[in-house]
Amino acid sequence: MSGKVAFVTLATNDTYSLGCLVLGNSLRRVNTSAELVVMVTTGVSNSMRTQLAQVFNVIQEVNVLDSNDPINLSLLGRPDLNVTFTKLHCWRLTQYDKAVFLDADTLVLQNVDELFDREELSAAPDAGWPDCFNSGVFVYKPSLETYQSLLQCATSQGSFDGGDQGLLNMFYNTWSTDDISKHLPFTYNVVSQAFYSYLPAFTQFKDRVKIVHFIGAVKPWHHTYDTNTNTVTPLPGTGHSQEFLQVWWNIFMQTVQPSLDPSLAEELTMNLFSKQSPIETEQSEAKHEAKYDVHVPYSETIHTVFPFKPPKVDEVFYNVVDNDDEKSESGDAKTEPEETIVTMTVMPRSYSELESHYSEEPLSHVNPEEPPVGTYSAPWITEGWEKASKEPSTCPPEYKTVSEIVETNIETGKPDPEDLSPGTKENISIEPTATNESELEKVGLVGELASMTIQTQQVGPGESLSDAQRKLNWERGQIDYLGQDSFENIQKKIDATMSSESSVPVSTSNPFTPSTDTTAAVVKPKQPEVTTAKKETKVSSGISISLSSTKK
Ligand SMILES: O=c1ccn([C@@H]2O[C@H](COP(=O)(O)OP(=O)(O)O[C@H]3O[C@H](CO)[C@@H](O)[C@H](O)[C@H]3O)[C@@H](O)[C@H]2O)c(=O)[nH]1
Ligand SMILES: [Mn+2]
């Protein structure tokens, strides 16, 4: 590496700044010898800039309309391309001979200083369309001339995806064919969901991963982190690797969170948790905006990032405790409570949708006096469940109670809503289920595995919650591919099933746990009569909740 070089990233608000802080720390951890630059816009608060300055050598304020040239003027008519153009400012950092741009949602696991030996424009293939490069990691040469040409291209042609990636792929349109040395190995920009699309490769090459990229609407800071266990639980349906997320959170909790400006955190806390009327909240947000000249999406940030007054553990969205009956039957008051596990899949389809749910009204049920420990959870899930279970009549439409969903959405085999209210022992599963004999025959072995469901997910005295959590994760599609649910173990089960030649009923332990695990719940392929309901509701906000229930 010769000349002056830098890693460059970008944040337009305080939330993405958190990503920059973790990224910057991850680069320091692997002892990079390059300088670190973060480009910020007016959306980044002063207090956040102070913290960024502890990690980055240069904090470069950028503004798309600040250079007063004719091209910039023509951008006035294209506000949609603003964020796109903000990234292009990295070409203006001409104090460096070579630079590597890294998205704020990337994480460096190994030293990558060798990237500075590459030429512009070097990048890794995009997982979605490998003839395009992903613009979250690229090597480039700062140059005002290139910057102007990029703006020119943008204003004349636009961007085919509305973002910088489309634009850059149009500008560097020979990348896929011209020069293989400009193709960075995928290990320099591994999408965090890679283990889903090609598990054997992920298993084989995981240790070579140098840079992880958390693409998509859900970012590392949105996930659920538990300060008791120091573990992160990926949000349902995002497909992010738990392992990579854990690294992100470890860095965050160790190096970023302890020095976040308390006044910023305090304001965030106040806004989210005090019992303010919407008007008061608006006023205090206005105050905050006046102070920092920025709107921080408070509720989005706080639940996963700030350890203040989280929901109580027994309010966490998927655990519903009701052990009254069991207690009186067993006569042992000290018996661990039995729990019914309810699984809901709530998938925001876009970033703005996600954001709108994080901006729901404050979690008024949270006691501000509670100590800052416990489980963090996405507020729209927690609050939804909390409201659904306690005051069904006041629920906003997207937070229907389970029994309401049953009443309004069941097409066949309507069960007694009582069975689905909190405290029942029936499991509500998100698994697709075969509903009649012929369908069951058609689905075959894979189908049978897919339609297996844990009959009763009671958490008894002999079974720890983490076992239950693991099963829950499995149901949510967050399979522990590298651990208990490894391909090897699944294969063992498949082999066992094949050799026994029996179809239904198969009485066996959970196929996704080693056969020696005797504590696993009994699992068998679902038979027609056990499926009593499958219901799906699409609510106005676009959140899709799909539930099906199983009865013994
Ligand atoms: O409100 C925003 C949005 C984005 N960014 C910055 O821009 C980057 C790109 O946005 P991101 O949310 O990371 O996009 P991706 O989910 O990674 O989506 C893809 O599409 C984007 C738009 O084309 C490209 O920039 C990405 O590199 C590409 O991976 C971020 O990392 C930040 O550095 C902000 O600072 N504020
Ligand atoms: Mn990104």
> Among the residues of 359-504, which ranges form H helices?
379-390, 402-409, 417-420, 437-451, 465-475, 487-500
ipTM: 0.98
Q: Which of 172, 176, 193 is nearest to 184 (CA)?
A: 176
Residue of 377, 359, 354 whose CA lies nearest to 541: 354
What's the average model confidence in pLDDT over 507-535?
A: 31
Q: 74 CA distance to ligand 1 centroid (A)?
A: 23
Q: Which of 7, 12, 13, 16 to mutate to test the pocket of ligand 1 (most atoms within 8 A of CB)?
A: 16
> Could you tell me the pTM of the whole model?
0.57
Measured from CB, residues less than 6 Å from any atom of ligand 1 are 9-13, 16, 83, 87, 103-105, 134-136, 161, 163-165, 215-216
Greatest Cα-to-Cα distance within the chain, rounded to the nearest angstrom = 82
The whole-number average pLDDT for the span 291-302 is 28
Q: Which residue has the higher pLDDT, 421 or 24?
A: 24
Nearest CA-CA partner of 62 in 74, 72, 71: 72
- Which has more confidence, 18 or 411? 18
Strand partners, 224: 233
Per-chain mean pLDDT for the chain: 62
With bands split at pLDDT 50, 70 and 90, how would you rate the model's confidence at 497? low
Q: Rounded CA gap, 474 and 478, in Å?
A: 5
Ligand nearest to the CA of 43: 1
Check residue 115 and report its DSSP letter: G
Could you give the 3-state DSSP secondary structure of residue 536? strand
pLDDT digits (tens, 9 = 90+) for 198-210: 888 888 999 999 9
pLDDT tens for residues 42-56? 989 999 999 999 999
pLDDT (average), residues 96-105: 98
